[in-house]
Amino acid sequence: MVRQRSLLGLTTALLLVSAWLLPVPAADAASTLNAANFRLTKSAYSGLIHDLDAALPNVSVPDVVADANRTASRCSPGAAVLVVAFCWNSGDAATTAWYPQAITTSADAYAAGTYEGARVIMTSWYDAADDGIDKGVRVSFVDWSNTSAPVYRHTLLVEPYTRSDGKASFRSVNIHAGGMFWYGYYLYVADTNIGFRVFDLRHIWRVTTGDSTKIGLQADGSYQAFGYKYVLPQAFRDTRSTAGGYPHLRFSFAALDRTSTPDSVVVGEYGYPGTGTRLVRFPLDYTTRLLRASSDGLTPGTEAYDMSVTSMQGATAINGKFYLSTSDGDSNKGDLATFRPGGSVAMHYDTLPIGPEDVSYWGDRDQLWSLTEHPNQRSVFAIRASAY
């Protein structure tokens, strides 16, 4: 849907106390698709993780959080019904080398809101390879136990592989990482053209630092990770497929829904102008922390919609209602869209800061979290979900 602006509309908007009080125009209803035609298939768990466990010190999520080496600050990014927000340190706020994309929290990992005692917000960043070296994806572990002065550390995502000499090593994960969710000890990261890359938080390795140009096993027997102290390894993949003549679903973003039965993940597509962009829900197994597979080994979707919403950047569902973040360039504020199946999409214009990305819902706090990507306009923020 293409946004319409007029001088009268802008003048009227300036007179309102906040953008969320604007009348909400209705859009076309999302059309239902055959959800079972979207499927995911799990690969085997990587046996190389065991080999690298023997070669590298293992640390826990609380260990990484306790070893935070950067300080964030509270800020006010200009979102409607803002609950809380923070901004990165000056270097991360301004860098053009890395761009933040996805968000999840320890409330996704476990309903209690903590993981092994740590209260954490996690975000993904992709490397723009401005120095000619694609370092892939890093995730930030933000200590959210002290919300007035949050601290954090970046950790590199890696993929184990066997070198030509038969030795176990790892390489960077060169994807966009536009969505992710934390479920038990697994971190599911969206890979646009594959499905999910899944990382095991029970295996975080401390590596040798000192060389920002090297990764993996080196000639001296050390393991490097472009200067990062910790790496998180990929354990397996969930690979997409389709049936019924449907084109592949692009895994642009993803978010956990703990309010559905069973728990589920909502996956969606970015597109501009957005015609034909879709949302699909896949079921999860709470006992295994894996996608819930049928007897044929496939995990079929349980809901699917043609949204045709312009520039969707993130989506989740809360008690059957979908919440979508949408972007409007690097100079206009972002919008929030909401809809219930069978109804029309409602656009809440100018309710999000410039450049909103992925979303995540912290249920018992009524917080819908998101983050923004553009240099010098970056923040991580939560709005009150029930306001919409």
205-249 confidence digits (pLDDT tens): 999 999 999 999 999 999 999 999 999 999 999 999 999 999 999
Residue 46 maps to a domain: yes
The phi, psi pair for 331, rounded to 5°, reads -135, -10
The average confidence (pLDDT) of the chain is 93
How confident is the model over 299-323, as pLDDT tens digits? Answer: 999 999 999 999 999 999 999 999 9
- The letter for the amino acid at 235 is A
Residue 25 maps to a domain: no
Residue 360 maps to a domain: yes
At 18, the pLDDT band (50, 70, 90 cuts) reads very low
At 10, the pLDDT band (50, 70, 90 cuts) reads very low
Both tokens of residue 167? 């030795």
Average pLDDT over residues 148-166: 98
Residue 26 maps to a domain: no
Average pLDDT over residues 321-350: 97
Task: Assign residue 108 the CATH number of its domain.
Answer: 2.115.10
Domain count across the chain:
1
Do 183 and 200 meet the contact criterion of CB atoms below 8 Å apart?
no
* 252: alpha, beta or left? (left if phi > 0; alpha if psi -120 to 50): alpha
Both tokens of residue 193? 């053209």
Indicate whether 257 pLDDT > 50: yes
Both tokens of residue 83? 């609950």
Rg (CA), the chain: 20
Q: Cα 91 from chain centroid?
A: 22
Residue 11 maps to a domain: no
Strand partners, 232: 157
Residue 345 maps to a domain: yes
Q: What is the pLDDT of residue 162?
A: 98
Residue 235 maps to a domain: yes
Indicate whether 25 pLDDT > 80: no
Residue 322 maps to a domain: yes
Average pLDDT over residues 148-165: 98
Q: What is the pLDDT of residue 28?
A: 67
One-letter-per-residue 3-state SS of the chain: CCCCCCHHHHHHHHCCCCHHHCCCCEEEECEECCHHHEEEEECCCCCHHHHHHHHCCEECHHHHHHCCCEECEECCCCCCCEEEEEECCHHHHHCCCEEEEEEEEHHHHCCCCCECCECEEEEEEEECCCCCCCCCEEEEEEECCCCCCCEEEEEEEEEEEECCCCCEEEEECCCCCCCEEEECCEEEEEECCCEEEEEECCCEEECECCCCCCEEECCCCCEEECCCCEEEEEEEEEEEEECCCCCCCCCCEEEEECCCCCCEEEEECCCCCCCCCEEEEEEEECCCCEECCCCCCEEECCEEEECCCCCEEEEEEECCEEEEEECCCCCCEEEEEEECCCCEEEEEEEEEEECEEEEEEEHHHCEEEEEECCCCCCCEEEEEHHHC
Strand pairing class (230-242; 151-162): parallel
CB atoms under 10 Å from CB of 216, counted, come to 21
Both tokens of residue 22? 């604007």
At 16, the pLDDT band (50, 70, 90 cuts) reads very low
Do 323 and 255 meet the contact criterion of CB atoms below 8 Å apart?
no
Quickly tell me which residue has 């699917």 as its tokens: 304
Among residues 124, 240, 237, the alpha carbon closest in space to that of 179 is found at: 124
Q: What is the pLDDT of residue 27?
A: 53
User: Terminal CA-to-CA distance of the chain, rounded, Å?
Assistant: 20
Domain of residue 69 covers 39-387
